[in-house]
């Protein structure tokens, strides 16, 4: 994995620009989280890995909010099958283990496949989230 330092510098710079030009403030934690996200995005090799990383992050945040019962819907059939069957997918093995570990926190958790054609709202939201978390061009 690459160095975090350049991503921290970049995200500090963009946070500064957001403050100066848009009056939008970010906490230190938000800047560090964006830097870590940027670093992880540098090593995403496939849509399956991207979906797995997004799910792991969402589960961790949901657990931190002390939400105990959730339904997870994804248009990644391969990921949902791997989770529900506890099967190994070499490319995402470590991430899958993290997902299963975090899942044990919840009182009730269900992973369900939903076809992309029925997942338009979530797809739109995900694209907007990428735009919001992307660094501002120089």
Phi-psi region of 74 (alpha: psi -120 to 50; beta: other; left: phi over 0): beta
- pLDDT value of residue 137: 47
% of the chain beyond a pLDDT of 70: 87
- Domain ranges in the chain? 1-43, 47-133
Separation between Cα atoms, residue 36 and residue 38, nearest integer Å = 5
DSSP codes, 60-103: HHHHHTT--EEEEEES-HHHHHHHHHT---GGGHHHHHHHHHHH
Q: Across residues 90-106, what is the average pLDDT?
A: 93
User: Quick one: pLDDT at residue 127?
Assistant: 64
* Class of CATH domain 47-133: alpha beta
């Amino acid at each position: 994995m690459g160095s975090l330092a350049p991503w921290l510098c970049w995200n500090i710079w963009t946070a500064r620009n957001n403050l100066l030009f848009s009056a939008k403030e970010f906490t230190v934690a938000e800047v560090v989280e964006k830097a870590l996200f940027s670093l992880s995005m540098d090593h995403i090799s496939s849509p399956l890995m991207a979906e797995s990383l997004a799910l792991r992050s969402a589960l961790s945040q949901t657990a931190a909010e002390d939400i105990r019962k959730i339904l997870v819907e994804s248009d990644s059939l391969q990921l949902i099958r791997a989770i529900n069957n506890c099967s190994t997918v070499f490319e995402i093995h470590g991430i899958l283990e993290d997902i299963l570990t975090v899942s044990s926190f919840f009182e009730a958790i269900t992973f369900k496949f939903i076809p992309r054609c029925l997942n338009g709202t979530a797809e739109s939201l995900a694209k907007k989230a990428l735009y919001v978390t992307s660094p501002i061009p120089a």
